Amino acid sequence: MVDLKQLAYERKNIMAFLFIASFLKGAAMIGQALFFVWIADGVFLKNASFEEVLPYLYGLFGAILLRVACGYAIGRSGVNLAAEVKMDLRKKLIASFASNPLQASIQGQSGQKVSLLLDAVDELDGYFSKYIPQMVQSYIIPILLLAVIFSQHWVTGVIILITAPFIPVFMALVGIKTKEKADQQMEKLGQFSGTFLDVLQGLTTLKLFNQADRQKQTIQKSSLDFRDATMEVLKSAFLSSLMLEYISMLSMGIIALEIGLRLVVFDSLTFFTAFFVMILVPDFFNMLKDFGSAFHTGKGSTAAANRLSAHLEKETPAVEWGAGTLSNDPPHLLLQDLTFQYGESFKLGPINTEILPYSQFAIIGKSGSGKTTLLHAIAGLLPLSSGAVRVNGISREQIDEKSWFDQLSYISQSPYLFAGTIKENIAIGAGREAADDEIWEAAAKAGIGEMVGSLKHGLDTQIGEAGRGLSGGEKQRIALARAFLKQPSIVLFDEPTTGLDLQTEKILQQSIAELGKQATVITVAHRLHTIKQSDAILILSEGQLAAAGSHNDLLETYAPYGVMLEIQHGGIVQ
Amino acid sequence: MTELKQTLLLTLREKRDVALAIFFGFLAGIAGAALMASSGYLISKAALTSQMTILIVMGACLKLFGLVSALSRYAERLFSHRATFTMLSNLRVSFFEKLSPLAPGIFQKYRSGDLLARIVGDVENLQNFLLRVFYPPVVLAIVFISTIFFTSYFSFAIAMVVLVGMLLTIVAVPAIFAWRQRRIDSAVRASRAELSTEATEFLYGFRDLKIYQQLDRKKQDLTTFSERYGEQQRKEGFEENLGQSVNAFVALLASFFVLGLGAYFVAEGQLDGLYLAMLVMISLAVFENVAPMAVFPAHFEENRKAAARLDQVVSEPVQAAGDAELPLNTLDIKLENVSYTYPEEERQAIEGVSLRLAPGSKTAIVGPSGSGKSTLLQLLLNILPADSGTISIGGEPLAALDPEKLWQRMNVVLQENHFFFGTIRSNLLIANEAATDEEMEAALAKVQLGPFSLSSKVNEKGENLSGGEKQRLAIARAILRGESLWLLDEPVSSVDSVTAKAIYRQLFERGKDDTFVIISHDLTGLEQMDQIIVMERGRIVEAGPYEEIMEKQGHFFKLKQIEKSIFA
Ligand SMILES: Nc1ncnc2c1ncn2[C@@H]1O[C@H](COP(=O)(O)OP(=O)(O)OP(=O)(O)O)[C@@H](O)[C@H]1O
Ligand SMILES: Nc1ncnc2c1ncn2[C@@H]1O[C@H](COP(=O)(O)OP(=O)(O)OP(=O)(O)O)[C@@H](O)[C@H]1O
Ligand SMILES: [Mg+2]
Ligand SMILES: [Mg+2]
C-alpha cells in the first residue's frame, strides 16, 4: 500500500522545517493584524500624528516581510517534498516494470502503464506540495489565532469553537463521496491513454478499414466521459468549498453582530479589540478554507496512490534463478516432463527430450501448436508449471540468470527494432561494445551487409520508430545479425527465415551452420527444407510431443511428416 | 501568442460558459470586497455612534454579500471547468482529425511515446488555458477597475495606490516571470515527452531487452529520464512558488501603502478616519484575489509550448485526396510507368513500373526481400503517392479517388497488421461492423481458427497470439470485408504449409471470379496464377504466365533452379 502520509513523514527534516516555518508565519500574521489595528486606531480614534504611527508602519512592514518569507519557505519545502517522493515512486515503478516476468509484461495496455508512470505519479504532486504544507499550517496557525482571539475577546473564541467543527464534518461527508468519484476518474484517465496509444499504433489498419471516423467518435466519447467523471469530482470539491464558505460566513456574521452589539449598545468593547478580531477571524477561516481545497487535492492523490498500489502489489509468478555458472561450451540440455500453461488456456507438454551439445535441433508443427512457447520455456522466459530443464544435469533454476543469458542468443519470431542506428540495433545482441568491422561481419552473415552498405549513412542510419523504414525481410535480417555478433553456446531461432527469399535464405543457412560449430542451435521452422539436416526434429501438435527423430526416421515412422513435406514441395497456392 | 490562437478559438466556442464564468467570477470578487468593506465601515461607524439601525444594516449586508460571494464562486468554478473540459474534448478530436491523414508516414518522424505524451500530456496542459491564463486577468481587471472607481470617491491617492498595485500584480510581475520562464526554458513538457517515449519503447521492446539483458541498462536510462523530468518539475515548482511569494508580497505591500497613505491623510485631516478601516479592508480583500496570477506565467509559457508542439505534429503536409467514387463494376487496374522514391532517399524504391491487373485475374508478385513488392502494394492502395506515372482503377485515376471509398472495395492484408486490445470479436468487427457472430465464426473457421471463441481476449498488438494466428486473424478480417479485390502481402509467411494450403484453397474456391494480388516468397504452385511478376531493385524484370516465363529461362527460371537445389 502506498501510504502517502507515511511517505511525507519519512522525510523528517522537511516536516520539522514545515512546522517551524508555520509557527513563524502564524506569528507574523498576528503581528501584521496588530500593527494594522494600532495604526488605524491611532489615527482614527486617538488622533495620533503620522510621525507617532510611523514606527508601527515599520513594524507592519517587518511582519509582512516575515509572513511572505515564511510562505515562500513553506512552499519551497512542499515542492521539494513532492519532487523527492515522486522521483522515488517513479523509480519503484520502473523497477517493477523491469522485474516483470514476460507473461505479465504483455498484460494490459502499454499506454496505461505509461500513464501510470506519468499521470498517476504527477497526480500525487498536490498531496505533497499543497496538502501536507497546508495541513501542517492548519495544525498550528488556527490554534495560534484562536489563542489570540480568546485573549482579546473570549466570546468570539467561543462562537468560533461552536461553529468551526461543522467544517471538518462537512468536509468528511463530501470527501467520502469524492473518493469514489476520484477513483473512477483516475481509471478513466488510464483507459484513455491506454486506448490512445493502441489507436495510434493501429492507425493505418483503422484507416484501411474505414474506422478512422468511428475512432474519432470514440475519442470524443471517452474524452467527454472523462470530462464528466472529472466534473463529478470537481463538483463535490466546489460544493464543499461552498459549504465552507457558507459556514465561515455565518460564523463571521454572528461574530460581527456580537461585536457590533457590544460596540453600539453596551459600549463594552474598544474599537481596537473589535477591529483586531475582525481581521483575525477571516484569517482563521481562510486557513480552514485553504485546508479544505488542499484536502480535496489530497483526496484526488489518494485515488492515484491506490492505482499505483494496485500495480506495485500485483503478484506474478516469476522465473526462478540460482547461482550456478555456465562455461563457454554448449551444455547438455534435458527437458524433463516440461509443462507450461498460459493461465487457463493453452497447455504445453509434458515434453521429454534431450538436446546434445553442438547438435542442430529443430522444432516443427502446425501454427499455434506451441513451438514459440516451448522456446520461451527453454530460454527461461516463462516459469515452468512443472518439470524441469536440466543443464549439464542441474536444474536451470539453479543457474545464475546473467551467466545463462550470456551463453544464449534468442532471435524471436517478431523481433523488436529499437529507435536508434542500425549499429546500435545489432550491437544490442552482444551486450557489449562492438567494433564496426565486427558489426559489418555480423550484418554480412545475416545477408543484410550489402543493403546497409548501400545506405547513405551505412551503419549509422536511424531505424525503428522515427527512423528510416525497412522492408519486412530487412528488419528480420537486422535482428538476425544480433545472433551472429555474439559467440553464444546456445542459439534459439524462431522462424529465422520468414519473409526472406530463397537466395538470402541460403546465405543464412550457411551462417547458421557456421554458428553451429561452436554452439547448440535450436530452430523453429515452417520451411521444412531448412531443417532437413538437423540431428533431431521434434514435432509438436496441440502442445503435445507428436514425434521426434531425424529427417529420415520421421519419413519412415511418422506419416504426417511426409505429407507436410510433400505439400511444401508441391506448392500451396492451388 | 499566435501558437495559442487555435486554443483560444476552441475555447471561445464555449461562449456561454465562458461568459458566465467571467460574470460570476466578477460577482464573487466584488461581493467579497463589498463584504469586507462593509464590515470595516460598520465597525468604525459603530465605534462612533450607538444606533441600533447600524447593527441591522450590518447584519443584512454581511449576509447578502457573503451569500452572493459564496454562490458566485461556486457558479464560476462550475462554468469555467465545464467550458475547459469541453474545449479539451474538442481539441483532442480536432487533433486526431488532423493526425489521421498523416499515418503511416508520421511514425517515421515521431515515436509513438512522444505522440502519446503530446496528445495526452500537452492537451491536458491546455486545460489550464482558460482556467489560469485566459480568464483570471480578465476577471481581475474588471474587479480592480470597479474597486478603483469606488475608492477614488474617497481618496484619489489611495485609488492610485490600488491602481499601481493592480498593474504590478496582474501585469508587471507576471510579465517579468513569463520572461524569466522563457529564459530559463523550464523544459518540463519536453522532458515529459522524453520519459514517455522511452517508457513506451521499454514496454514494447520488453522481450528483446530481456533476452539481450539490456533491461538493467534501459532501466537506468529510464530512471535518468525520470529524474530529469522530476528535476524540471521541481524547478518549475520553485519558480511558481517564487512567483506566488512575490505576488503575495506585492499584494500585501499594496495594502500596506493604502494603510500608510490613509493614516497620513487622516492624520493630516484630508480623509475622514471613518473610512480608513474600510479602505484597508477593501485592499486586503481585492488583493487576496490576485493569487491566481502567480501561476499565470508558468502556465502561459507551458501552454504556448504545448500548443506549438501540437501544431508541429499536424502541420506536416497532407497528401491531397480526391473525392471521386469508384465505379460499381469490376475493377480493372492499370499502372503506367510508375515511380516512387521514399522521402529523403536517393534510390528509387519503384522505378518505371507498368502493369495491368484485369478483373478476375490472379497475380503473384515475387522477388528478393527489399525489391519493392510491399511498396508497390502501398502505391496501389494510395497509402503512398506515386511520384510520376499514373495508376488507374476502373478507369479513374487513383489520385482523384476518395481513399476511403477505395479501401472500402478491397480486402487487404498488409505485411504487418495491427491488433487492438480487446477480443477476437472487436478485432473482427473493425472490418465489417455489420458482421453477425455466425459470419465471424465462419470466417474464423476458414482460416483454421475455429477453436477460438469470439470473446477470447486479445492483448495489445495481439501479443497473446502465435505468429501464425495473428496472420490468420488478419486474413479472417479480410474475408469479412467480402469485396472482390484481394491484396495480400505475404499473408501466410508464418503459417505452416498444411494450414496455409487449406486457407488458400478456401480463398480461391470462394473467390473464383475475384481479382487476387499475392506477394509471396514461396515459388511453389505458381503454375495456377494468370500472371507472375518478378521484381528486382524496384523494377519489374519479368512478367507473364508461368509457362511463358519459365521458357524464357530468365530471372524466374533461375529462382526456380535455386528452389530445386534446396528441395533436393
Ligand atoms: N501470452 C499468451 N497468453 C495466452 N495464450 C497464448 C500466449 N501466447 C500464445 N498463446 C497461445 O498458445 C498457443 C501456442 O502459441 P505459440 O506461439 O507457442 O504457437 P506456435 O507454435 O509458435 O505458432 P506459430 O507457428 O503460429 O508461431 C496458441 O494457441 C496461442 O494462442
Ligand atoms: N519508409 C521507408 N523509407 C525509406 N525506405 C524504405 C521505406 N520502406 C521501405 N524502404 C526501402 O524500399 C525498398 C523496398 O521495400 P519494400 O518494403 O517494398 O520491399 P519488399 O519487396 O516488400 O521486401 P520484403 O520481401 O522484405 O518485404 C527497400 O530497400 C527498403 O529498404
Ligand atoms: Mg511461433
Ligand atoms: Mg514486403
- Nearest ligand to the CA atom of A501: 2
Sign of CA dihedral A305, B200, B185, B292: negative
User: Which residue, among A175, A513, A321, has the nearest Cα to B210 in the 3D structure?
Assistant: A321
Task: Go through the domains of chain A in sequence order and give each one's CATH number.
Answer: 4-313 (1.20.1560.10), 319-406+490-574 (3.40.50.300), 408-487 (3.40.50.300)
Ordered alpha helix ranges (H), A391-435 = 401-406, 422-427
Does any CB of chain B come closer than 8 Å to the CB of residue A274? yes
- pLDDT reported for residue B1: 59
- pLDDT reported for residue B50: 66
Does any CB of chain B come closer than 8 Å to the CB of residue A60? yes
Atom 24 in ligand 2: residue holding the nearest Cα: B369
Does any CB of chain A come closer than 8 Å to the CB of residue B267? yes
Of A95, A274, A366, the CB nearest to B498: A366
Residue A20 CA to residue A38 CA, distance in Å, equals 27
Q: Which of A186, A228, A243, A465 to mutate to test the interface with B (most CBs of B within 10 A)?
A: A465
A288 confidence band (pLDDT: 50, 70, 90): confident
- Backbone angles phi and psi of A360, in degrees to 5: -105, 115
Question: In chain B, whose CA is at the least distance from the CA of A238?
Answer: B74
The amino acid at residue B357 is L
Of B468, B505, B521, the CB nearest to A367: B468
Helix (H, G, I), strand (E, B) or coil at A462: strand
Tens-place pLDDT, residues A146-155: 999 888 888 8
Sign of CA dihedral A536, A537, A542, A543: positive
Average confidence (pLDDT) over A158-187: 76
Of B86, B256, B526, the CB nearest to A573: B526
Q: Do B559 and A499 touch (CB under 8 A)?
A: no
Q: How far is CA A50 from CA A47, A416, B256, in A?
A: 9, 80, 14
Q: Do B108 and A468 touch (CB under 8 A)?
A: yes
- Cβ pair A351, A373 in contact under 8 A: no
- Nearest ligand to the CA atom of A342: 1
Task: Go through the domains of chain B in sequence order and give each one's CATH number.
Answer: 2-314 (1.20.1560.10), 333-565 (3.40.50.300)
Residue B58 CA to residue B41 CA, distance in Å, equals 9
Does any CB of chain A come closer than 8 Å to the CB of residue B223? yes
Distance B348 CA to ligand 2 centre (A): 10
The neighbouring-strand residues paired with B535 are: B540
- Backbone angles phi and psi of A47, in degrees to 5: 50, 40
In the predicted structure, residue A527 carries a pLDDT above the cut 60: yes
pTM metric for this prediction? 0.86
Residue A543 CA to residue A339 CA, distance in Å, equals 9
- pLDDT reported for residue B277: 81
A1 confidence band (pLDDT: 50, 70, 90): low
- pLDDT reported for residue A29: 92
pLDDT, averaged per 10 consecutive residues of chain B (568 residues), comes to 76 86 91 84 76 74 84 89 84 82 77 80 81 86 89 86 87 86 73 88 86 85 92 88 89 87 83 82 84 82 83 74 71 89 87 89 91 92 87 84 84 88 89 88 89 87 89 92 89 88 87 88 85 92 89 87 81
In the predicted structure, residue A284 carries a pLDDT above the cut 80: yes
- Angle, helices B15-48 vs B135-152, to 10°: value is 30
Q: What angle do CA B357, B360, B364 make, to 5 degrees?
A: 55
- A152: Cα within 13 Å, side-chain hemisphere: 25
CA B504 to chain centre: 40
Q: Which residues 103-132 of A have a C-beta within 8 angstroms of B?
A: 105-111, 113-115, 117-119, 122, 125, 129
* B494–chain A nearest CA distance, Å: 6
- pLDDT reported for residue A414: 84
Helix (H, G, I), strand (E, B) or coil at A376: helix
Phi-psi region of B258 (alpha: psi -120 to 50; beta: other; left: phi over 0): alpha
Tens-place pLDDT, residues A466-481: 778 888 889 889 988 9
Residue A118 CA to residue B118 CA, distance in Å, equals 12
Q: Do B407 and A402 touch (CB under 8 A)?
A: no
Ordered alpha helix ranges (H), B13-155 = 15-48, 52-99, 112-116, 123-125, 128, 135-152
- pLDDT reported for residue B203: 87
Mutate to test the pocket of ligand 1, among B459, B460, B466, B492 (most ligand atoms within 8 A of CB): B466
Atom 18 in ligand 2: residue holding the nearest Cα: B372
Q: How far is CA A127 from CA A4, A168, A293, A448, in A?
A: 8, 18, 11, 54
Q: Which residues 17-56 of B have a C-beta within 8 angstroms of A?
A: 35-36, 39-40, 42-44, 46-47, 49-52, 54-55
The neighbouring-strand residues paired with A391 are: A333, A394
Distance A493 CA to ligand 1 centre (A): 16
Tens-place pLDDT, residues A74-129: 999 999 999 999 998 999 889 888 887 777 767 777 888 888 888 888 888 888 98
Residues of A in contact with B435 (CB under 8 A): none
Q: Which three cell numbers stand for residue A466?
A: 522515427
A574 confidence band (pLDDT: 50, 70, 90): very low
Does any CB of chain A come closer than 8 Å to the CB of residue B272? no
Residue A230 CA to residue B124 CA, distance in Å, equals 12
Which protein residues are within 6 Å of ligand 2, measured from CB? A 468-474, 499; B 108, 342, 345, 349, 367, 369-375, 415
Q: Which three cell numbers stand for residue B367?
A: 522477388
- Nearest ligand to the CA atom of B371: 2
Provide CB contacts within 8 A for A479, sequence distance 6+.
Answer: A411, A415, A417, A425
Residue B55 CA to residue A133 CA, distance in Å, equals 39
A572 confidence band (pLDDT: 50, 70, 90): very low
A67 confidence band (pLDDT: 50, 70, 90): very high
Residues of A in contact with B412 (CB under 8 A): 208
Residues of B in contact with A69 (CB under 8 A): 245
Atom 9 in ligand 2: residue holding the nearest Cα: A470
Note whether ipTM > 0.90 here: no
Q: Do A118 and B213 touch (CB under 8 A)?
A: no
Q: Which three cell numbers stand for residue B156?
A: 484619489
